[in-house]
């Protein structure tokens, strides 16, 4: 279980998280029809290195039967859920693009994601984005001392399921600290008051991945990219947070564009 050991550690987590947030806000400014996902990746890597940070995903290899992830960002378009590999794909008007990025700065990690519209998008896609971001906000509101991981998952599940959306269950949020992935896993479904209880100083990444169709995903031929099984759209919003005495603090303060 990852917990802050000192006020200094909170400062370092904030610094790493701020670089992550700034990368996402910069990428968003460049998302438009005609741009390739590799151009966005280059922009992200250059910015992270200019801050003295290290891209956490580049070279990441969770098991020996996988190839190292080649990008700084994950760039997942439309029916791609997560772990899209940046490349020559040209974004088109009406696409949605999920960008996930992790940074290590001075030994501490930040991780966040956002799904962006490319130009004008359909009402159905905009609704998917709004529901997914709102589900993240509800999960963060539930992340208070004395609550449990089940309360966080339930906040997502009880909001999105009645609206008819699917939750990705094979991938979860996670503790984050000196390493990108620490205990505990943070699922986007659960039961109130069940599971690990949330304690002061815990730092976690909450990351709902929501589909407009059926609840099933598959991994593509490159061994990385996760697709919705039925070809429906997916969205992904993530923030790293710290659970403090007076509530959750957002460590990756990327700018929301959701209409309130």
Closest approach of Co ion to the CB of residue 111, in Å: 4
For residue 138, the partner it binds in ligand MF3, Co ion, none, with Cβ less than 5 to 8 A by kind, is: none
Burial of 132 (0-12, 13-18, 19+ CB in 10 A): buried
Tokens of 106: 């001075």
Q: Given the complex with Co ion, which of 97 and 205 has the nearer CB atom?
A: 205
Q: Given the complex with ligand MF3, which of 32 and 178 has the nearer CB atom?
A: 178
Interface residues with ligand MF3 (CB under 6 A) are 57, 60, 69, 74, 83, 100, 102, 111, 174, 205, 207
Gap between the Cα atoms of 46 and 17, Å rounded: 17
Contacts of residue 123, defined as CB under 8 A and 6 or more positions apart, other chains included, come to none
Q: Given the complex with ligand MF3, which of 12 and 226 has the nearer CB atom?
A: 226
Interface residues with Co ion (CB under 5 A) are 111, 205, 207
Q: Given the complex with Co ion, which of 22 and 121 has the nearer CB atom?
A: 22
Closest approach of ligand MF3 to the CB of residue 122, in Å: 26
Closest approach of Co ion to the CB of residue 3, in Å: 18
DSSP 125-171: HHHHHHHHHHHHHHHHHH--TT-BHHHHHHHHHHHHGGGTPEEP-SS
Closest approach of Co ion to the CB of residue 94, in Å: 27
Q: Given the complex with ligand MF3, which of 121 and 182 has the nearer CB atom?
A: 182
User: Cα dist. 157→100, 136, 151, 194 in Å?
Assistant: 22, 11, 10, 14
Closest approach of ligand MF3 to the CB of residue 205, in Å: 6
């Amino acid at each position: 279980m990852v917990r802050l050991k000192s006020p200094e550690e909170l400062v370092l987590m904030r610094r790493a998280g701020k670089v992550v947030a700034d990368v996402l806000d910069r990428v968003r400014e460049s998302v438009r029809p005609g741009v390739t996902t590799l151009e966005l990746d280059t922009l992200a890597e250059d910015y992270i290195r200019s801050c003295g940070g290290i891209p956490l995903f580049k070279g990441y290899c969770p098991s020996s039967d996988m190839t190292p992830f080649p990008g700084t960002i994950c760039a997942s378009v439309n029916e791609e859920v997560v772990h899209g590999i940046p490349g020559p794909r040209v974004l088109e008007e009406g696409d949605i693009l999920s960008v996930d990025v992790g940074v290590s700065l001075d030994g501490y990690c930040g991780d966040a994601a956002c799904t962006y519209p490319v130009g004008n998008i359909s009402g159905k896609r905009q609704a998917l984005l709004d529901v997914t971001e709102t589900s993240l906000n509800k999960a963060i509101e539930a992340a208070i001392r004395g609550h449990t991981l089940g309360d966080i998952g339930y906040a997502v599940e009880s909001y999105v399921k009645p609206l008819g959306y699917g939750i990705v269950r094979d991938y979860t949020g996670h503790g984050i600290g000196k390493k990108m992935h620490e205990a505990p896993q943070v699922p986007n479904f659960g039961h109130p008051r069940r599971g690990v209880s949330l304690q002061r100083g815990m730092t976690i990444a909450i990351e709902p991945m929501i589909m407009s169709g059926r609840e099933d995903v598959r991994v593509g031929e490159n061994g990385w990219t996760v697709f919705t099984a039925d070809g429906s759209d997916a969205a992904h919003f993530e923030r790293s947070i710290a659970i403090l005495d007076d509530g959750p603090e957002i460590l990756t303060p990327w700018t929301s564009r959701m209409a309130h």
